Structure formats: C-alpha cells, structure tokens
Amino acid sequence: MDYKVKAAEKCSATYAAIPEEWRLSPECLSLLQQPVEKCRNNLFEPDFIQSSGILSPKEREITENYEVSRLLGALAGGTLSAVEVTVAFSKRAAIAQQLILFDQALERARDLDALRSSGNLAGPLHGLPISIKDSFQVKGTQATIGLVSYLDRVSDVNSVLVDVLLQLGAVLYLKTNVPQTMMTADSHNNIFGRVLNPWNTMLTAGGSSGGEGALVGFRGSPLGVGTDVGGSIRIPSLCCGTYGFKPTAGRIPYGQQVGCSDPGLRMILAAAGPIANDIDALEIFVKAVVNARPALLDHTAIDVPWKEMKLATDHKLRLGLLAEDPLYPLHPPVQAALDKAVNILREHGHKIIEITPVEGHVADSAEVAWNLWGLDATADEIVKAGGEPAVPSRLSLARDAAATNWSFVPDLSQLPALKKLSFLNIKRSEIAANWNRTWRVHNLDAVIGPPAQHTAVEHDNYGIPAYTVLLNLLDYPACVLPFSHASSSTTPRSFEKKPGQAGPPYHPSVVEGAPCSIQIFTRKMCDEQCLAVAAIIDKALNL
C-alpha cells in the first residue's frame, strides 16, 4: 500500500477517536490564519479556548490554574474527582488533536474515584492525568513513532514506566507526536504531520518530544513524559515555554521503549523525564518514580533511592556560567535573557564563575555526538523500508552538520567502524575528564547557561542542538526553566554569523514574543541537587 494511504488511514482513525462534541467548529477554525504552520497564530490570543466552547468554566479553571501539587491535593481530598480532571484535560488535548486514549483513561479514572470513595488512594499520583510520548508502549495500542514501517505493529506489552505510573495511580490519557526517527528537533512526520507551537504556529515546537512540549505549553496536560538523547525534553521545553528535566540516564526506567536505532549501538544513553508548567511538578514526578524502585522491573534502571535535598531559599550558590561557544553564537534574545538572569542571581548574592568555551566543550561535544550517531544507519533503513521520504528537518540537519566547521575530531572516513568507535569514545572521555576538573577547580554547585543558541525558530531550521547534547554526552542531569520572552525592542535587531559559525538565521519579527529559557545542570547522578538548585534559581528569577 502507498505510504500516503496508510498514513491517511491511521490519521483518520486517530481523529475519529475524538468525540464529536469535542471537535473544533469551522467558525472556531476560521479564527486562525491559514495555512496555520506558515502564519503567526497565538492560540492564547484571541481566546481560542473560550471561542471553541468545548471546555466549561470549571474545566478551564482545572486546566489553567492548578499546579500539579495542588491538583494532586484536590484529587486526594475529593474536592476534584479523577473523572472530571481527566475529562477537562482530555477535552483540551482533543483541541490539540494528539494520539488519543480517552476511553481507557475515563474507565481508569472511574476506578480511581471508586477507590478513593472507599477511603483509599492508588498511590502518590492518584488520579493525575499524564501524557506520554509516542515511543512509550501501551498494551493494545500502537507506538508508530511517526514511521510508516511501524503502522502494522500493535504493542503487546507496556513500557516499564507505563506500568510504574499506573502503579502510582496516574491516568494515562494520550500519547503525543514525534519527528520521523526521533532524531531531529522538529516534530514532523508523514503520518500525523507537524506539531505546531501554541505561542506562534510559524515556529517549531521542538523535538523529539515536541508533542509533549506543545501540549503541556497549551495546558492540555498537567504533566507530560518525554525522552532525551540530544535535548529532546529540553528543546520542546525551551520552544514552548515549559519546565523540563532530563535526569541521569537510568534514574527513570527506559525499558520497552520503541525506537529505530540498533540496540547494540546506543553509545549515548537516552533518558526519560518530565515536562510541566511548574518546577515542583518535576520533582513530584521523579521522586515518585524513583521511590517505586523501577530497577526491580527494568534491568537498565539504577536502583538508587531518592535523596531528600531541601536547600534553604537563602542558600548562596556557586554557579558556573557556561560561556557562548564561538561556533554556536547566541541570538540576541537568548543572550539578553541569560544576562538578565545572571544579574538577578548576583543581586541575590549567588557567586557566578565563568566557564570558558575551552572548558565548556560545547562544539566539541556536538561533533563527537554527531559522529557517534553516524555509526548507526538503522533509522534510514527503516524509513526507506516504509516507502516514505525523509522529512525536511532531517535533510536540513544533515546539511547543517556537513557545513559546520568542527575541529575536535579529525577525518575518520578511512577508519573501520570499530576504530572510529574507539577514537570517538576516547574523545568523549577527554571531554568528561576535563569537565570533572572544571567542577573540582571551581568548586561549583551547578552550572547555568543557554539551552540553545536561539528561541523556537521557523520550522525545519533548528539545527544542531549543541547546548543540550553536551549534557547527553556527559550524562549529566539538566533542567530548563522558562524565563523572559524575545523582544526586538530590547535586543539588537541585527545578527550576523561569521564565517565558519553554525546555526539558524535570526528573524526578530518572526520570533517576537517567543519564550526564552535558562538551563541548569549538575554532575552525573546529582539529580536531586539539580532540581533543588533549579528551584532556588526559579524562585529568584520570578520574584
């Protein structure tokens, strides 16, 4: 069957799962400039949700004004039922048209409400609707990850994290869209199409957990779960103005994920982690999952209990400041947000120590990572087997990499594969050893810096995610905090890349109002410290 026919059938089946009364009317859709992905549409202005007429006032209150901790308290106390919370977020998610599990979710919510009425709770996440990336398996459903070759597959097992979340009392109510192969920062595939940024539909929502970033940013989910091997939690977070946390690999179970890489060539370990609209939700999620001891179910998970780390709000931090890498210059809004954040933190008494580009190894890490990924051709073979073309962002990413003036890794084209792998692992170890020295010499609590060169940019233009992949190569935990918005009135309108520099162009009128973010990271296995430091920084930046 032609790939377009198979994709259309799957897309139609997904849309058919949305109840008729939850579908957008032609009048509501007419409020959007068309074509949507090429026009500047902010789905919060005009009030798109209210115009839809789909959510009641109480459902809007639930989806817009509850942080996760307050939502869990209301569910545990019975002031909100699991059914009404699940319906509210399901309706809002239906507006966003994701990959839907509504029927199963409502049945689950009814069971949880019956349990609570008998005086019991299922667990610390009782009744909380949680959305998950399409790479997670749910028994009896599909996890296509945007690949036509996977359209005939139906999962016969749950991913380990799915079982853990159900054990903790969560309601899993939908799965979200990803890019073809999950190896590009623009969530677009030939089955479900392109994820749009709710702040500006001309801009990418990021990837590969782009469906999660857009849905949480749109408040169609109180908490979403993504995965991250090069920035795939943090990139959608910075694009859509949400909080995102990439743990050390293995702290959150990754077993039974659907992927399209050679399982024997996973040199850079992926991590699963949360995306949310408040920072406390990140710790609530990670702590609950870690304390469930997922290593008993997943041999790849690390069996280390959660370490309580409550730093006083007046605790003074020693923070490294990751400098701009000369090969990846920062767009003016990103530099302005970082400068503003640093000034605020200094005013609060925190010590800022600059980490030089040589110490930072941002471009070097991107080069090593790109070469490691290049050893595995499995994804290309799967796309080809499905008879479908590569999506534009994968092609543009390859062009960007080929044109980048990297200098850390010599030409390896004449070496056999194992020699290439050996050399790249040695270079990776060199970067890790140098960072180990940096932590020790500067006696740092954490490091702050940009999560990317830029804010969300036009579709298919994201480029190499150098500032996030650094932390995947090192396997460091990292948190992204939303802070400020792009404004051409307070930043230079001109930006020019010098010869040899990489990255997308800067179009101030297009990215006007786009969310900006700050990235915080700590050493490997210091996940608790990363979140504790991030909470202090977030509070300082939002006073």
Say whether pLDDT at 174 is over 90. yes
At 314 the pLDDT is: 78
Which bin fits 332, alpha (ψ -120 to 50), beta or left (φ > 0)?
alpha
Provide, rounded to the nearest whole percent, the portion of the chain with pLDDT above 90.
90
What CATH class does 318-493+500-542 carry?
alpha beta
Q: Is 407 marked within a binding site?
A: no
Q: Do domains 3-38+55-296 and 318-493+500-542 have the same CATH topology?
A: yes
Phi then psi for 180, rounded to 5 degrees?
-55, 125
Instruction: Give me the active site residues, please.
Output: 133, 208, 232
What gap in Å lies between CA 331 and CA 508, rounded to an integer?
A: 9
pLDDT per residue over 239-273, tens digit each? 999 999 999 999 999 999 999 999 999 889 999 99
Residues whose CB falls within 8 Å of the CB of residue 503, separated by 6 or more in sequence, listed in order: 328, 329, 331, 453, 454, 463, 464, 497
Q: Is 208 marked within a binding site?
A: yes
CATH of 3-38+55-296, one of 3.40.50.1970, 3.40.630.30, 3.40.50.450, 3.90.1300.10: 3.90.1300.10
The residues with which 79 forms a beta bridge, in sequence order, are: none
3-state secondary structure 255-306: CCECCCCCHHHCCCCCEEEEEECCHHHHHHHHHHHHHCCHHHCCCCCCCCCC
pLDDT per residue over 415-440, tens digit each? 999 999 999 999 999 999 999 999 99
pTM over 0.85, yes/no: yes
What gap in Å lies between CA 146 and CA 14, rounded to an integer?
A: 13
For residues 220-235, one letter each, b for 16 or more C-beta atoms within 10 angstroms of the residue's C-beta and e for the rest, the string is: bbbbbbbbbbbbbbbb
Q: Is 182 marked within a binding site?
A: yes
In sign, the C-alpha dihedral spanning 522, 525, 528, 529 is negative
Measured CA distances, 236 to 115, 187, 393 (Å): 36, 9, 15
Domains in the chain: boundaries: 3-38+55-296, 318-493+500-542
Q: How confident is the model at residue 45 (pLDDT cuts 50, 70, 90)?
A: confident
Measured CA distances, 341 to 429, 484, 485, 533, 541 (Å): 32, 9, 12, 14, 7
3-state helix vs strand vs coil in the chain, percent to 5:
45, 15, 45
